[in-house]
Amino acid sequence: MCENSVNVPQLKLSIGQVDDAIALSQQWLEQLHHLADHGKKPEASAEIAQAGVLLGEARARLQSSLDALEGRAASSDVTVELV
């Protein structure tokens, strides 16, 4: 259950919860993007859309971290960067 003082199942669950929260934020951003677009605010719409893309990238990284925890990573070199 614990590996090197880390409860891996709990870590996986926590990553999943963060992914769910980001998914909800993505949905909200999509609605705001359409609202700004329909309100003739193209600059704001584009920035909001870009924020949604960045959240999608964050979700992909979370999935990669889950894959690494489960030993399915393409590479065993997993790095963490501060954003």
Q: What is the dihedral of CA 19, 21, 25, 28, to 10 degrees?
A: 120
Residue 82 lies in a domain: no
The verdict on residue 81 lying in a domain is: no
- How many domains in the chain? 1
Whether the model clears a pTM of 0.85, i.e. scores above it, the answer is no
In a domain, 80, yes or no: no
Span 15-36, pLDDT tens digits: 999 999 999 999 999 999 999 9
Give the count of beta carbons closer than 10 Å to the beta carbon of residue 2. Answer: 9
Residue with the bigger pLDDT between 3 and 69: it is 69
H/E element, 2: strand 2-3
- pLDDT number for residue 12: 93
- Is residue 32 one of the residues assigned to a domain? yes
Token readout for 19 is: 């992914």
Is residue 76, in this structure, part of any structural domain at all? no
Find residue 3's DSSP bridge partners: 6
Residues 6+ apart with CB under 8 A from 63: 19
Provide the residue range defining the domain that includes 56.
2-69
